[in-house]
Amino acid sequence: MSDGQVCEVVITAADPEWLAGFTRRLVEDRLAACGQQVATIRSIYRWEGAVHDDVEARVALHTRAELVPEIVARADAEHAYDVPCVLALPIVAGNPAYLEWILTETRPRGPLG
């Protein structure tokens, strides 16, 4: 059981290469243990009064729930979108060894984080 320690963070972007680089930086900085990217998704959404139908990329990051605010701040600072999609989804259970690996490969939130 995870009991809220870990979560999956979903981020989308128009440029799959930018998203891969962003994911790599988050993993290098130990904000995520890994990111599993889908290079092509179809997003249909309403933005500024119009309905859009666009191709995007999507990544699912596995991380500590306490690191989500830092990931959101990084996305807000670095993402090309005015309002980037960053959603944290709870992981309620899983392979205990995998959940422990996520905790081992990410850093605890620091006093400034």
Mean pLDDT, residues 68-96: 97
pLDDT, one tens digit per residue, over 21-51 is 999 999 999 999 999 999 999 999 999 999 9
Confidence band, pLDDT 50/70/90 cuts, at residue 111:
low
Task: Compute the distance between CA of residue 59 and CA of residue 63 in angstroms, rounded to an integer.
Answer: 12
Q: What is the 3-state secondary structure (H, E, C) of 25-54?
A: HHHHCCCCCEEEEEEEEEEEEEECCEEEEE
The pTM is what?
0.92
- Tokens linked to 18: 């930018």
- Hey, what domains does the chain have and what are their CATH numbers? 6-105 (3.30.70.120)
Confidence band, pLDDT 50/70/90 cuts, at residue 110:
low
